[in-house]
């Protein structure tokens, strides 16, 4: 196992949990980070509901996920989706889920990676 260089804040902890059933009370986190999760799960809307539930009023979330764009790499995303390695979604599908949950976001897409800020 690698050695930790530096010191972690005592306010930070790491937990391995099911993203579809977050084991936390509502409104407990100022920040939620979700990198490259949403394209790995079928029911990504449930994961978004969980994120929305656990963030405090005024809290923020940073999310990344792969999305379809007008790039040459779309066939590769589709191939990975067909193999079961990921779920290939359009930007419209992603934005629709946030809108349905009334999660007002800002986002940008670079190549096939969406960078999303909530809160």
Q: How do residues 26-56 score in pLDDT, each as one tens digit?
A: 999 999 999 999 999 999 999 999 999 999 9
Number of Cβ atoms within 10 Å of the Cβ of 48:
24
Instruction: Break the chain into its structural domains and give their ranges.
Output: 29-118
More confident residue, 29 or 12: 29
Domain 29-118 has CATH 3.40.50.150: yes
3-state helix, strand, coil in the chain (%, to 5): 30, 30, 45
Could you tell me which residues are beta bridge partners of residue 90?
Answer: 68
Distances (CA, A) of 95 to 29, 87, 106: 23, 15, 10
Q: Specify the pTM.
A: 0.85
């Amino acid at each position: 196992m690698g050695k930790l260089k530096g010191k972690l804040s005592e306010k930070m902890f790491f937990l391995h949990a099911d993203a579809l059933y977050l084991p936390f009370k509502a409104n407990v986190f100022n920040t939620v980070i979700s990198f490259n999760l949403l394209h790995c799960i079928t029911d990504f809307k449930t994961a978004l509901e969980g994120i929305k539930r656990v963030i405090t009023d005024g809290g923020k979330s940073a999310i990344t996920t792969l999305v379809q764009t007008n790039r040459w790499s779309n066939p590769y995303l589709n191939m990975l989706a067909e193999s079961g390695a990921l779920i290939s979604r359009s930007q419209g599908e992603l934005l629709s889920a946030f809108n349905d949950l009334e999660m007002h976001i800002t986002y940008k897409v670079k190549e096939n990676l969406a960078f999303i800020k909530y809160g």
